[in-house]
Structures are given as structure tokens and as C-alpha cells.
A and B are shown apart, each in its own frame.
Chain A
Amino acid sequence: MHKFRGKKMLLVGALALAGGLVSLQAAAADGGDPADNVSGKLLLTGGVSQIEGSAGGGLTPWALIGSYGTQGQFGANAFYTRVNVQDYHLDDAGAMFGIDNRVEFSVAQQRFDTEDVGAALGLGRGFSFRQNVIGVKVRLFGDAVLDQDSWMPQVSVGAQYKSNNQGAILHAIGAKSDHGTDYYISTTKLFLSQSLLLDATVRFTKANQIGILGFGGDKHNSYQAEFEGSIAYLLSRNWAIGAEYRQKPNNLGIAKEDDWYDAFVAWAPTKHVSLTLAYANLGNIVIKDNQHGLYASVQVGF
């Protein structure tokens, strides 16, 4: 049953990719049309929407300010992301806007569906945790794209305030709070000569499974520094491939938590839309180990 669904998702992924490749040829064919310079940043240099709604890769925020608004401009994006692993799925939607290539505000809502695991735990089949995230990011210095004559990255700091709607259950499993704030510092650099983008982020967090399982726990209840990293290789103006890593705390005695990995392909046929497909490995989640599957995200914006 689960295996079958996994195959179906893979098929959907493959179809989407094939569709993408066909459209890429179309995009390449009309590459001479300068009329689509709608706003001031270069294609794919705003990143995509990460799982908590900030501009970044799929799992981790980048120092880049989201949207295609550059200095003196304003831009906005909306996204929808679906993550399907064997025993759970996550629906995630949100929006962000970037001002003057300096400040980014974001909101996101995550709905984590426990499917059959909810029934096994006595919560009911399809029991869901819902979490709202409000994010802010400020670029401190550097320009990841233009400063190509120095190694100096773009550096930003940010915060993500999260609140979860299942306080009673979170307390029952050992979490200390149903809300919390992550703080992070991100350094991002595009090495244009190598067509390579690198990001390193350090996040200070108490969140269990990014907050889906609450904040703090019986094992630890203090902020811990966690490393997150992304590497992306630009294949063309419209296509990038890459991989990500997100280190996570392990605060709850009853539910071991693992670091997350993904490998992704991102496609931006125009500045108004991007699609990201990833294979994500999320490790143990509550009572189910080795959770992995497809991550798919669509972003639209101006």
C-alpha cells in the first residue's frame, strides 16, 4: 500500500520533470525576448521558499532576500509545498515579500498529517499538527551575486516565530512548549566562475522536528546551535541542481530525531514561477524510522 503510493509519487515526479524539460526547450527558443525583465534580480538568485517560508533552498534559509525585487524595489512570492514520506505527509503554504533587497517578511502554515500512525498512537487516523510560522530576515552586508571579485559572502540574520496548535499533546509527549522562536545567521555566496552557490547557516533552536513536535523536551530544554548547508550547481539560467543538509536537535526521550538531507532540482521558466522537486531523507519521525520520499514545491511571484 505504502510502497504503491511511493511509486505513484515517483511517477508524478518523473512526469513533472519531463514536462519541465519540454518547456525548457520552449523557454530556450524564446530566449531572445527581453520583454520579460519584470523585476530587477537575476533568474533563480532569489532562491525558492524553504519549508518554514523563508527564501532559501528547500530545507534551509539562505542569506538572499526573497522575491525578485532588488534595491529600491518590492517583490512578493507565494508557495505551496508537499512532502510525502512513507508514513506521513506535510502540506505547507505561505507567502513572503522582500523590500529593497534588505528585509524579508514571511508567513507559512504547515499541516503535518500522521495518517495511520495517528490511529496507532490513539490520536485517530489522519490526526494533524498545524503550525504557523512568521519569519523576518535582514541582510547585514555583502552581495552574493555581484561581489564576484571577493570571497566575501552575503550575510543575513533572521528569526522564525512558530506556534503549534496541539499544545496538550505536545506536553504529553514531553515537549516543554507549543511555541518558540528560531534565530539564524546565513552566509551565502554564488561562485559564478564555477556556477556554484554555497550556503552555510547556523540556527539556534529548541524546536522538535522543526516545531511540529513542539519546543524543548525532557532531554534538553535550551537553545542549541545546529548547522545547515546547501550546495547548488547552476546548469543554465533556468535550472539548478543541488543538495542540502539540516542538523537537528534531539530533545524528546520518546521520539528520536534525525538530521535531514535532500537532493533537489529547481526550474524557473520565468521570474513568475519556479518548481522544485527533491528527494528528502527525514530519518526517524516518532515511531517510524527511515522516512524518505518526494518533496515538491511550486512558487509564484512578481
Chain B
Amino acid sequence: MYKYKMLSCALLLAAGLIAGTTVSAQTTMQPAGSSASGDTYPTAPRDPALKPVFEQFGSKPGLVALMNDFMDNLMADPVTRPFFQNADREHIKAELVDQFCVILDGPCTYTGKDMASVHRGMNVDRADFNALVEDLQKAMNKHDIPFRAQNKLLAKLAPMNRQIITKP
């Protein structure tokens, strides 16, 4: 009986470790040349493993359509609207398309600024950041992007909170 207990503990822990190393392996496996710049790198690095996810997003036309609804949600959301109402929203949408496209290993180049400079002085806090994530989730649902594919993209975007959230 006791052995059985220990076995189930060990299995759970092992599952945790496997899942953990999978994630960290994904984040450390970057193509040569994109890994050097750390926090100042303009966006999350290209991940060749996410190519199938790019297709699930409907490739570049899918991202363009997604970003229209995403921006509509951001403008309809009282939490996020103040950050976008005086901005060049068409420009932001185009940069987001490129950024997501690069992360998902699509045939794009991101030419925008790094996340820290873009968000400097904007006083984004964690609640604002999470609200934006939810607005993105709703847009992805509307475009019938499979939940697991959504999460694979969000896993790449989530760590950017460290550059974006500047208000403690």
C-alpha cells in the first residue's frame, strides 16, 4: 500500500518534470543568431515548432483578420481602450500581425521596436495586461482557432509581461 502511494507521487512528479523540460527545451531551442539579445530583442523569437500553429491561425490572412477583431475588442473594453484610443491603430495591427507571424515561424519580418521601448511610460499593470490577453482569447475564439493552438501562441506572449508591465 505504502509503495503504491510512493509510486503515484513519483509518477505525478515525473509528469511535472517532463512537462517542465519540454517547455524549457522549447524556449531554449532558438535558431542561431536570434538568441543573443535577451530583453532588448524586439519580440519573442521565431519557433520552427510552431509552424503548424501558424497554419491553424489561417496563415497571414488569418492573422490580419484576427487582428481586426482583436483591436475592436480592445477598443470596446474599458480597461484597454485608454491605451489605444489615441494611437495609430492600423499601424499597431500591422506590427502585431508581423510579430505573431514571426513567432509562429511564418514568412514575415518584424521591423517594429522592442516591447520595452514601445510600452515605456504607459503605466500598464497586470490587470491591464490580463484584460488584453482575454480580448485576444475572445478574438481567437471568434475565429475558431483551436484552444490548444491559442495556448501555444499565448505561451510565447505571456513572458513579454516583464517588458510590458511597468506599473508595480
Q: Which residues of A contact B (CB under 8 A)?
A: 28, 31-35, 37, 39-43, 70-73, 101, 145-151, 189, 191-196, 198, 200, 227, 229, 231, 234-237, 245, 247, 259
**Contact A40/B138 with A151-B23, A194-B22 known, Cβ cut-off 8 Å:** no
Does the CB pair B131–A148 fall under 8 Å?
no
Does the CB pair B155–A42 fall under 8 Å?
no
Please name all residues of chain B whose beta carbon is closer than 8 Å to the beta carbon of A43 when the two chains form the complex. 134
Q: Which of A34, A189, A227, A231 contacts B20 (CB 8 A)?
A: A189
Query: Is residue B12 within 8 Å, beta carbon to beta carbon, of the partner chain?
Result: yes
Rank and list the top 7 A-B pairs by shortest CB-CB distance, nearest first. Answer: A40-B127, A151-B20, A192-B155, A34-B77, A149-B159, A71-B126, A229-B12
Q: In the complex, what distance in Å separates the CA atom of A149 from the CA atom of B148?
A: 17
**Contact A247/B137 with A40-B131, A149-B159, A194-B22 known, Cβ cut-off 8 Å:** no
Query: Is residue B141 within 8 Å, beta carbon to beta carbon, of the partner chain?
Result: yes
**Contact A193/B125 with A31-B138, A229-B12, A247-B5 known, Cβ cut-off 8 Å:** no
Does the CB pair A34–B22 fall under 8 Å?
no
User: Nearest Cβ distance between residue B72 and chain A, in whole angstroms?
Assistant: 8
Q: Which of B20, B131, B138, B147 contacts A32 (CB 8 A)?
A: B138
Chain B, range 110-127, C-beta contacts under 8 Å to A: 125-127
Q: Interface centre among A149, A191, A193, by most B CB within 10 Å? A: A193
**Contact A151/B21 with A31-B138, A195-B148, A227-B9 known, Cβ cut-off 8 Å:** yes
Q: In the complex, what distance in Å separates the CA atom of A28 from the CA atom of B142?
A: 8
The digit string for B56-89, where 1 denotes a CB below 8 A from any CB of A, is 0000000000000100011011110000000000
Does the CB pair B141–A28 fall under 8 Å?
yes
Please name all residues of chain A whose beta carbon is closer than 8 Å to the beta carbon of B127 when the two chains form the complex. 39-40, 70-73
Q: Which of B126, B142, B155 contacts A148 (CB 8 A)?
A: B155
Does the CB pair A34–B138 fall under 8 Å?
yes
User: Nearest Cβ distance between residue A23 and chain B, in whole angstroms?
Assistant: 16
Apart from A32-B141, A193-B26, 6 more pairs, CB < 8 Å: A40-B130, A42-B133, A71-B125, A193-B151, A195-B148, A245-B12
Please name all residues of chain A whose beta carbon is closer than 8 Å to the beta carbon of B22 when the two chains form the complex. 191, 193-194
Chain B contact residues, majority secondary structure: helix
- Using a Cβ cutoff of 8 Å, how many contacts connect chains A and B? 129
Cross-chain pairs A/B with CB under 8 angstroms, 21 sampled:
A32-B73, A34-B73, A34-B76, A70-B126, A146-B161, A147-B158, A149-B23, A149-B24, A149-B158, A150-B24, A189-B20, A193-B22, A193-B23, A193-B152, A194-B22, A195-B147, A200-B12, A200-B16, A229-B12, A231-B15, A235-B147
Please name all residues of chain B whose beta carbon is closer than 8 Å to the beta carbon of A193 when the two chains form the complex. 22-23, 26, 151-152, 155
Does the CB pair A146–B159 fall under 8 Å?
yes
* Identity of the chain A residue whose Cβ is nearest the Cβ of B159 in the assembled complex: A149
Query: Is residue B92 within 8 Å, beta carbon to beta carbon, of the partner chain?
Result: no
User: Nearest Cβ distance between residue A174 and chain B, in whole angstroms?
Assistant: 21
* Identity of the chain A residue whose Cβ is nearest the Cβ of B76 in the assembled complex: A34
Query: Is residue B135 within 8 Å, beta carbon to beta carbon, of the partner chain?
Result: yes
* Identity of the chain A residue whose Cβ is nearest the Cβ of B125 in the assembled complex: A72
* Identity of the chain B residue whose Cβ is nearest the Cβ of A198 in the assembled complex: B16
* Identity of the chain A residue whose Cβ is nearest the Cβ of B137 in the assembled complex: A237
Please name all residues of chain B whose beta carbon is closer than 8 Å to the beta carbon of A148 when the two chains form the complex. 23, 154-156, 158-159
